[in-house]
A and B are shown apart, each in its own frame.
Chain A
Amino acid sequence: MKIIVLIKQVLDPAGILIRRDKEKMFINREEYIVGPDSKAALEAALQLKDAGGAEVIALSLGKPRADDALREALAMGCDAAYLLNDEAFAAADVPVTATVLAAAIQKLGGADLVVAGRESGDTGAGQIGSRLAEALSYAQVTDIHALTGVPGAIQATRRWGGGYAAVQALLPAVVTVAPEAFPARYAHGARIMNAYREWQVTTWNASDLGLNDAALKPLLVFRGESFPQPLPVGEQVKGAPASAAHELITALKLQKAIG
């Protein structure tokens, strides 16, 4: 099975301080990490590789610094990594990103399975998987919590209403994974060393992918940004931890939120 995993590098939220009173976000430490959803996607793909053997390719559209995210993907167990970088991609919105990724996947000869995170840790649109599936005419399953490979297809459990549904999709397919369902493995130390010393990340630009300006014209126009309204504070449970926990459980049971 040939699996392509989409990787998005995001600003490490641990280095950000949000000041609601000043309606500003302060970056105390500008460090970039593989987004938690992308890490879960990697884990889901690597579990398929562990189970039945697969070639896992990491693919990222990003700035040159996304090279680090791809090397981390190599360290975690990917077999190859591709960075899509071009000045012309800088203004890419979600539709353009899907176009660029689809072009790259086609250049790679297509895939049996494309795995992405449910949504990215920064913009959080949650659209890439679906748009990419449409662009490639692949089947799609979103927000999956379990994944296994069977001949010619994948079987997945996805969130469905208040519970889960078991689904099967014929390959080729795109799946997006729920980050909480695929806690990522640690990279082996030797693979971390090799990811920088021995292995390569291939970079492709717009002309490598045969994309012209028209294909890269974003649909979205940026008009400005504003701070979201604070979320209303719900019911608060206070007091000693033991009694507060008891009270909370009782309240959740009354609302049938838990069994």
Chain B
Amino acid sequence: MDFSFPKEYQLFRRMVRDFAENEVKPLAKAVDREHRVPFETVKKAAALGLMGVPFPQKYGGMGGGEMGYCIMMEELGRICTSTATVIGAHTGIAAMSIYLDGTEEQKQKFLVPLASGRLIGAFGLTEAQAGSDAAAIKTTAVRDGNHFVLNGAKVFITNGDIAGIMTAMAVTDPSLGAYGGITAFIVETDTPGFSIGSLENKMGIRGSSTAECVFQDVRVPKENVLGQFGAGFLTFMKSLDIGRASLGAACLGGAQAAMEGCMEWTMAREQFGVPVATKQSVYFMIADMAAEIEALRSIIYRTAWLIDTHQPHIKEAAICKLYGSEVASRCIHKAVQIHGALGYSRDYWVERAYRDARIAEIFEGTNEIQRIVLASNLFRPYGLRIPS
């Protein structure tokens, strides 16, 4: 067993870390405060291949696989959760769904501009009545000649208002249910009838946009059916499975940043005549962070390896997301405590990190859904079915 990163990944991590420190960090506070997407960073990231890290170079990607993608998400998550969210939703689920199930023509037409960062992607699954119960979507797609006509609305769509391409799930046969009755489509967002409803005013990740996307008689050519007709639910679930590993990687970065920040602060901050880092009540908290962070790092990169070597990874990816988001939340919760009143101040990064961390327990499948995924996979070999 060799746990060392191949050298190209070591160099890649150094590059992304420099990029995050020098280009992402200076904007992190402002984009949160001003509630705006850091387009200037996205443009710079695209120029370095960072909008298509996991995909092969023949599709405009960087050729870094899931390993490279998790490394980037860890390094971005360490500096700015908003930026990680914009690039993560674009790459990890939107472009990923086309990479996984798109035809060669679809990959050339849609994945290439996404992976090279010329267009931003969004992943259209959630609806007002279909969150955890993703199969309960109401958006419909009705065949009309060489087109499908989409009607309905998606909510809480990351990048929804800035995307050029959205992969969207719609009901094509209500009688067949999730498996058979739902189809995935690639929607170009300049198609007439596609519009943006409300934008969410969120607690955290305010440097990313979250939009309501409305489909009103949106005509999508039949060539844009993504994956097999009627198998859209599977396409979307496969994309989410992979997305969970990288989401966990971003959480790993957030947790790491919390620990590093606490170490720096507690070595400098003196109370009772000594650095507070020498107080057991403080260093126990930091030691607990370190233990959880290392455990998280192990599962993240092992899962990335499973994905890159085409091995089963659903259970592990669910652990990445579940454990990652909770480790990040626990570390940042402690970081606020360690920083005291400073950690509660809006002028300091800790408060932003605290708000940013919370979403990871919710989006891309709540942690409760992850526990269902995990339990289903644990009990299935014994013939026991876990109901959703």
Contacts and interface: CB of A to CB of B under 8 A. Distances in A.
A209 interface: no
A75 B7 CA distance: 12
A196 B8 contact: yes
Contact of A195 (B8, B49, B61): B8
Interface string A167-198: 00000000000000000001111101111110
A14 to B, nearest CB: 11
A68 B9 CA distance: 12
A190 B68 CA distance: 11
Nearest to B10: A68
A189 B7 CA distance: 13
A189 B62 contact: yes
B289 interface: no
Contacts of B50: 189
A32 to B, nearest CB: 11
A75 B48 CA distance: 11
A187 B64 CA distance: 14
Given A186-B15, A188-B48, A188-B49, A193 B7 contact: no
Contacts of A197: 8, 63
Interface in B58-87: 61-64, 68
Given A68-B11, A72-B11, A75-B11, A189 B6 contact: no
A45 to B, nearest CB: 19
A71 interface: yes
B19 interface: yes
Contact of B7 (A68, A186, A190, A194): A68
A196 B50 CA distance: 18
B63 A193 contact: yes
Chain B, interface size: which category? Answer: 10 to 19
Q: Which among A68, A193, A195 has the highest number of chain B CB atoms within 10 Å?
A: A193
B294 interface: no
B11 A187 contact: yes
Contacts of A194: 63
A193 B15 contact: no
Contacts of A68: 7, 11
Residue among A186, A188, A196, A197 facing the most chain B CB atoms (10 A cut-off):
A186
Contact of A186 (B18, B53, B57, B68): B18
B53 to A, nearest CB: 6
Contacts of B63: 190, 193-194, 197
Given A193-B62, A193-B63, A193-B68, A187 B15 contact: yes
Contacts of A196: 6-8, 11
Contacts of A187: 11, 15, 48
Contacts of B348: none
B62 A195 contact: no
A190 B48 CA distance: 8
Contacts of A188: 47-49, 62
B39 interface: no
A190 B57 contact: yes
Contacts of B19: 186
A180 B62 CA distance: 30
Contacts of B62: 188-190, 193
Nearest to B19: A186
B11 A71 contact: yes
Interface string A124-160: 0000000000000000000000000000000000000
B12 interface: yes
A83 B11 CA distance: 18
Interface in B1-55: 6-8, 11-12, 15, 18-19, 47-50, 53
A68 B6 CA distance: 12
B48 A193 contact: no
A193 B18 contact: no
B12 A189 contact: yes
Nearest to B53: A189
Contacts of A192: 8, 11-12, 15
Interface string B175-190: 0000000000000000
A186 B48 contact: yes
B170 to A, nearest CB: 34
Nearest to A191: B49
Q: Which residue among A187, A188, A192 has the maximum number of chain B CB atoms within 10 Å of its CB?
A: A192
A118 B8 CA distance: 28
Contacts of A189: 12, 15, 48-50, 53, 62, 64, 68
A48 B68 CA distance: 31
Contacts of B57: 190, 193
30 contacts: A68-B11, A75-B11, A186-B18, A186-B19, A186-B48, A187-B15, A187-B48, A188-B47, A188-B49, A189-B53, A189-B68, A190-B49, A190-B57, A190-B62, A190-B63, A192-B8, A192-B15, A193-B8, A193-B57, A193-B62, A193-B63, A193-B64, A194-B63, A195-B8, A195-B11, A196-B7, A196-B8, A196-B11, A197-B8, A197-B63
Given A190-B61, A192-B12, 4 more contacts: A187-B11, A188-B47, A189-B50, A196-B6
